[in-house]
Amino acid sequence: MKSELPAPAPAAFQDVLASMAEVDRLKSREELLAIEADLPARVADVTTRLRTVYAQQGVTVPDHIIERGVEQFFSQRLVFAPPPPTLGSRLAPLWIFRRRILAVGAIFSAVFLAVAATGYFAFVVPAEQARERERVAAQEQLENATTKLHSAEKLGAVVFAHVKEQLAAVRQHAPEPELINAVAVAETKVAAGHAAFDENLQRARDAVASFAPVDHLTSARAQPANVGARGALDAVQTAGRNLDQVSSLSDQMGALQAERASLEVAWKRLDHSGLPAAVKSSAEQTYAHGLAVVAAFGAVTDVRQATAKLHSLADAELALDALPARIKTAAAKARAISRDPRADEQISAGERSGLAAVDSGNAAAAEKNLAGLRELTTHLGEAYTLRIVNRPREYTRLWHFPNGRPNVKNYYVVVEAVTAEGALVSVKIRNEEDGSTAAVTKWAERVDETTYESVGRDKQDDSIIQNSTFGKKEKGRLAPEFLQGPKARGGDPEAGRLNHWQYKG
């Protein structure tokens, strides 16, 4: 049995075309290879033809120029020269890479939106909130200033009416011309205070009015409104100080009125015919000064000081009246003790001086004389022995050149005042070199060289001064009776003494 194979199907037209294209490509490649294989011959041929052409045309061209031109032509014949770009070629990459571009664009868009949102909520919103808070604060400040302004206006009307009413009452009922003049000065000050008060209130009104109505204050005007509100508050505070000053004038007027009455009471204590001339002159000046302060609407403390001085003068006058009897009593006590003519003379002189001071109204001088008499009485009542000092590390005697005079040498013996009971007595000693007076229990008495050396020899024997009694002061006597030295032979007992020293002998 014989089998038959089916007939092959005819080739597709597309396959034929594709095969033809491949055949043509291979053919062109073989031709290009053949041409490239014969390149030197072509270069030589072209060079020959160019020389012929230039020769026919009568143009002289050097061979190396022709050869270089041909060489450059053949070296660039296979270089690709892209066609000029068109709109389509420019937009093609966008379409080709559209997914990547869209993804990057989406990322950048998300980042931009995130940054924008962060900036808005981090900066824009807080700034808006801060401006709103500033606006609210400025509004509250303005409302506060307005409230205080209205309160100051009401309070000012009350205070000024009250002060003027008080001053008018003082003017109507005060008989003293000083108070009438004081009222005039006070009224002038009140008028000045009123003008200053009104001026400051007007400043506050203008500052508040420039931002009215307060309820419609915008954020843009918040800062200047805040400044204006502070200015208004400052003006109201200044007006309040003006009001306090005016109110204090009323208090000052009342205080001056009271002090004027006290001044009159103090003056009446001194307004009599028996007043000493010096006291009367001082009292009249003080009284006139107090009245002048009242008339000038001055400080209450000045009037109070004048009143206190008048009372002090009156008290001194009372004490002055009692001084003659006190001085005479002190003189009598001193005379009762005295057994010294010199003391009697000092007592009489002190008594006379004290009584004369009383007659002249000089209470201080009279008191000083009285104190002197009492001190003299105490001194007369003392009894002690002048003993030469003889203790370790203490001077028994000393010498030095007085006041830098090298040709004069003064000798001294150091003594102390001791009672019969062994107590040291403090005695007022005047220093002969510097004139100072001090109450001391130990001092130096100036002696001659003979006495100085005698005391030294007495101590050198056995370190004990046998003849240690330098003098004795008895009760009723002014000065001691000296037993050694020049004063034992007479002279001023209070001369030639030192109450301090810093030198050796």
By the 8 A CB rule, do 151 and 178 touch? Answer: no
**Cis amide leading into 62 (omega within 30):** no
Pair 472, 394 in one domain: yes
Pair 388, 493 in one domain: yes
pLDDT (average), residues 127-146: 68
pLDDT (average), residues 234-241: 75
Is residue 505 over pLDDT 60? no
Looking at 50-59, 173-182, 372-381, 437-446, which range is the least confident one? 173-182
The answer to whether the predicted template modeling score (pTM) of the entire model surpasses 0.85 is no
Which range of residues forms the domain containing residue 217?
A: 149-250
Residue 182 placed within a domain: yes
pLDDT (average), residues 196-209: 76
Read off the pLDDT of residues 463-476 as tens digits, 9 standing for 90 and up.
Answer: 888 888 999 999 99
- Output phi, psi for 167, to 5 deg: -65, -40
Give me 402's structure tokens: 């007085």
Pair 412, 371 in one domain: no
Residue 64 placed within a domain: no
The count of structural domains within the chain is 3
Is residue 125 over pLDDT 70? yes
Q: Give whole-number Cα distances, 336 to 22, 343, 476, in Å.
A: 172, 11, 9
Pair 317, 287 in one domain: yes
Is residue 386 over pLDDT 90? yes
- Between CA 288 and CA 316 the distance in angstroms is 20
Q: What percentage of the chain reaches a pLDDT higher than 90?
A: 14
Pair 166, 231 in one domain: yes
Looking at 253-257, 374-378, 474-478, which range is the least confident one? 253-257
- Between CA 44 and CA 24 the distance in angstroms is 29
Pair 368, 397 in one domain: no
Read off the pLDDT of residues 24-39 as tens digits, 9 standing for 90 and up.
Answer: 888 877 777 766 666 7
Task: Please indicate whether residue 252 or residue 195 has the higher confidence score (pLDDT).
Answer: 195
Pair 415, 490 in one domain: yes
State which of 377, 397, 426 marks the end of a domain: 377
pLDDT at 402: 81
State which of 213, 232, 250 marks the end of a domain: 250
Q: pLDDT band at residue 299, thresholds of 50, 70 and 90? A: confident
pLDDT at 211: 60
Residue 228 placed within a domain: yes
Pair 197, 157 in one domain: yes
pLDDT at 1: 46
Q: pLDDT band at residue 174, thresholds of 50, 70 and 90? A: low
At residue 463, the 3 state secondary structure works out as coil
Is residue 504 over pLDDT 50? no
Question: Nearest CA to 418 among 339, 472, 495?
Answer: 472
Is residue 381 over pLDDT 80? yes
Q: pLDDT band at residue 127, thresholds of 50, 70 and 90? A: low
Is residue 448 over pLDDT 50? yes
Query: Pairing between strand 442-447 and 469-473?
Result: unpaired
- Between CA 201 and CA 238 the distance in angstroms is 9
Residue 440 placed within a domain: yes
pLDDT at 446: 92
- Residue-level length of the chain: 505
Q: What percentage of the chain reaches a pLDDT higher than 70?
A: 86
pLDDT at 74: 73
Question: Nearest CA to 128 among 136, 464, 249?
Answer: 136
pLDDT at 194: 81
Is residue 462 over pLDDT 90? no
Residue 272 placed within a domain: no
Residue 38 placed within a domain: no
Is residue 503 over pLDDT 60? no
pLDDT at 227: 67
Residue 168 placed within a domain: yes
Pair 398, 342 in one domain: no
Describe the chain by its helix, strand, coil percentages, rounded to 5.
70, 10, 25
Is residue 414 over pLDDT 90? yes
| Per-chain mean pLDDT for the chain | 81
Pair 244, 159 in one domain: yes
Looking at 114-118, 123-127, 302-306, 412-416, which range is the least confident one? 123-127
Q: pLDDT band at residue 280, thresholds of 50, 70 and 90? A: confident
Pair 207, 223 in one domain: yes
Read off the pLDDT of residues 82-120 as tens digits, 9 standing for 90 and up.
Answer: 778 887 777 778 788 888 888 888 898 889 888 888 887
Pair 407, 491 in one domain: yes
State which of 336, 356, 377 marks the end of a domain: 377
Q: pLDDT band at residue 210, thresholds of 50, 70 and 90? A: low
Looking at 7-16, 82-91, 496-505, which range is the least confident one? 7-16
pLDDT at 438: 93
pLDDT at 475: 92
Residue 53 placed within a domain: no
Is residue 339 over pLDDT 80? yes
> What is the SS3 string spanning 264-321?
HHHHHHHCCCCCCHHHHHHHHHHHHHHHHHHHCCCCHHHHHHHHHHHHHHHHHHHHHH
pLDDT at 383: 92
pLDDT (average), residues 134-162: 73
